[in-house]
Amino acid sequence: MSTTTKDISREKSAELFEKAKQYFPGGVNSPVRAFKSVYGTPLFIERGDKAHLWDADGNEFIDFCCSWGPLILGHNNDNIREAVTAQLSKGLSFGAPTQLENKLAELILSNNKHIEKIRFVSSGTEAVMSAIRLARGYTKRDKIVKFEGCYHGHSDSLLVKAGSGLVTFGETSSAGVPQAFAAETIVIALNDREALQEVFSTYKDEIAAVIIEGIPANNGLLIQDKDYVQYLRQITKDNGALLIFDEVITGFRLGFNGAATYYDIQPDILTYGKIIGGGMPVGAYGASNEIMAHISPDGGVYQAGTLSGNPVAMAAGIAALSILAQPGFYERLEEVTTAFVNELRQYIQEKGYGVKIFTVGSIFWFAFTDQEHIKRADEIDPASMEKYKVMHRALLNKGIYFGPSGYEVGFISHAHTAEDINTAIKAIKESLDIVYQ
Ligand SMILES: *Cc1c(COP(=O)(O)O)cnc(C)c1O
C-alpha cells in the first residue's frame, strides 16, 4: 500500500483495542466498528464537538459518520446538552409516564402527516421488530417480504438474505436464526416489479407486510425509482398486505415527513430511530389510529419496554427535533450537501476517475463505479471496496472521518461549517488522487 503521507499515530487506540478484545467479541460492541473492512485498528474516540472528533491519540477529525446518522446537529450541541443536563437532576428513569413523552410525540405528530399515533422504544431494531409483529397481528398473516440490500436491525425475522432465484425463501444471514423463521421471510431484489408480482401471485393472502427502507442507505445508497415505490404501495394495498417504511435513517433526515413524502406515498407503518433521540437511544414506530389500536394495552399485540420513553432520552429528542422543526433547516443542509457533492463530482469528472457520488438530502455515498445508477444490491461490485479502503486510510491521515466500510453512507450535519466543508473537499480530492495514483 503506497501513500504519499505517513499514517497518523494510532498507538493509544491500538493499545485500547488490544484491551477491548479481552472484554468484547472482536473488541467491540457492534461489529462494523471493528474496522474489518478498512486498514488499521479502530480509533477510540475521546470526545466530539460540533463537526469534529478527537481520538485517544489526540488526532482531530472532521466527522462525516455522525454516529451512523443520529448526529444531524453534530456533537455537543448546546441545546441538547442543556436539556439533558437539566433532566439529569430530576431523575434518570421512573417506569411511569412523563410529560416529556407527550412533548416529543406532539412535536413529531404535528409535523409528520404519515402517522397518527406513535410508540417509543429504545432502538431501531426494536422499532422494526415491533412493527413486524404489529403487521402480523393486524393482518393475521405470517409472511414478510424484504429486499436484498436493506438492513432493518438484527431481529431474527430480518437477518435473512436472498437465496438464488427471483423469489425465494430467505436463507438465514446469521447463525442462531432458526430456519423456520427464515422460511417466513421472502427476500427479493430492489427496484424489480416482476419480482413483486411473482411474490404476490405465489403467496397470495399469506403476506402480512412488505418492509423497505425509506431510501435504502445501509448497503450503499440505493435510490429507488419513484414509480417503482408507488407500484409497491399499490400492489401491497391490492393484496391486503401492509407496507412498512423503515425510516430509521431517512426519518428526520429528509425532513419530518421522511422518504414517504419524498416518494409521495402513504405507508401503513413507519419506523424511526437514530436522529429521533438526538444522540440518545430512542426508536419509535407509528401508524394510523386504527392500526395502532392493535398494540397493547389497547389491542392484542404485546410490546413493552422498561426504559421506553426514557426521560433523559426524551429530553434530548425534544431539544434536537425542536431545532430541526425550524423553517429552512433542511433546505440549508441540503444546499450545503449539494454544493459539497457537486464540487467533488466536477473534480472527479476532470480527472476521469471512476467514482460516482450518489446523494439525497444530506446523505451521500461514494461508489467506485462507472455505472450512472445503482438501485440494487447486486449492482455493487465487491471488488470496488478495495478502492474505498485506500481512500478511507488516506482520509484518516488527512483528518477526515468516514465510516469504516465502503457500503456505508456519509452524513453532513448542521454543525459542518463552510470551513469544515472546504477542508474536507480538499482532503477528499487528495485522497482520490492517492486511490488513482
Ligand atoms: C440503523 C438501522 C436500524 C437499526 O437500528 P439500531 O438502533 O441500530 O437498532 C434499522 N433500520 C434501519 C434502516 C437502520 O438504518
pLDDT in tens, 133-186: 999 999 999 999 999 999 999 999 999 987 766 676 778 889 999 989 889 999
Residue 255 has pLDDT above 70, yes or no: yes
Q: Which of 55, 63, 143, 151 is catalytic?
A: 151
| Assigned C-alpha cell, 336 | 450545503
Ligand 1 centroid to residue 24 C-alpha, Å? 21
Residue 339 has pLDDT above 70, yes or no: yes
| Ligand 1 touching residue 125 (CB < 6 A) | yes
DSSP-assigned letter for residue 50: B
Atom from ligand 1 closest to the CA of residue 153: 4
407 is catalytic: no
Position 204 confidence tier, pLDDT thresholds 50, 70, 90? confident
Q: How far apart are CA 239 and CA 223, in angstroms?
A: 25
| Ligand 1 touching residue 246 (CB < 6 A) | yes
| Ligand 1 touching residue 151 (CB < 6 A) | yes
Q: Which of 50, 143, 146, 274 is catalytic?
A: 274
Residue 58 has pLDDT above 60, yes or no: yes
Q: Which of 246, 388, 401, 420 is catalytic?
A: 246
Q: How far apart are CA 305 and CA 244, in angstroms?
A: 21
Return the higher-pLDDT residue of 173 and 308. 308
Return the higher-pLDDT residue of 222 and 165. 222
Give pLDDT tens digits for 400-423: 999 999 999 999 999 999 999 999
| Ligand 1 touching residue 253 (CB < 6 A) | no
Look over the chain and give the mean of its residue pLDDT values, rounded to a whole number.
Answer: 96
Nearest protein CA to atom 13 of ligand 1, as residue: 248
Residue 340 has pLDDT above 70, yes or no: yes
What pLDDT is stored for residue 5 in this prediction?
A: 58
* Contact partners, residue 12, CB within 8 Å, separation at least 6: 44, 55, 56, 57
Least Cα distance to 63 among 72, 53, 71, 54 occurs for 53
Vertex 24: Cα angle to 20 and 28 (nearest 5): 75
| Ligand 1 touching residue 224 (CB < 6 A) | no
pLDDT, average across residues 323-332: 98
Site of grid cell 453512507: 409
Nearest protein CA to atom 5 of ligand 1, as residue: 124
151 is catalytic: yes
The residue whose CB lies within 8 Å of the most ligand 1 atoms, and thus the one to mutate among 72, 125, 247, is 125
Instruction: State the DSSP string of 278-317.
Output: BTBS-EEEEE-HHHHTTBTTTSSB----TTTT-HHHHHHH
| Ligand 1 touching residue 123 (CB < 6 A) | yes
Position 286 confidence tier, pLDDT thresholds 50, 70, 90? very high
Domains of the chain: 11-76+328-436 (3.90.1150.10), 78-324 (3.40.640.10)
Residue 2 has pLDDT above 60, yes or no: no
| Ligand 1 touching residue 286 (CB < 6 A) | no
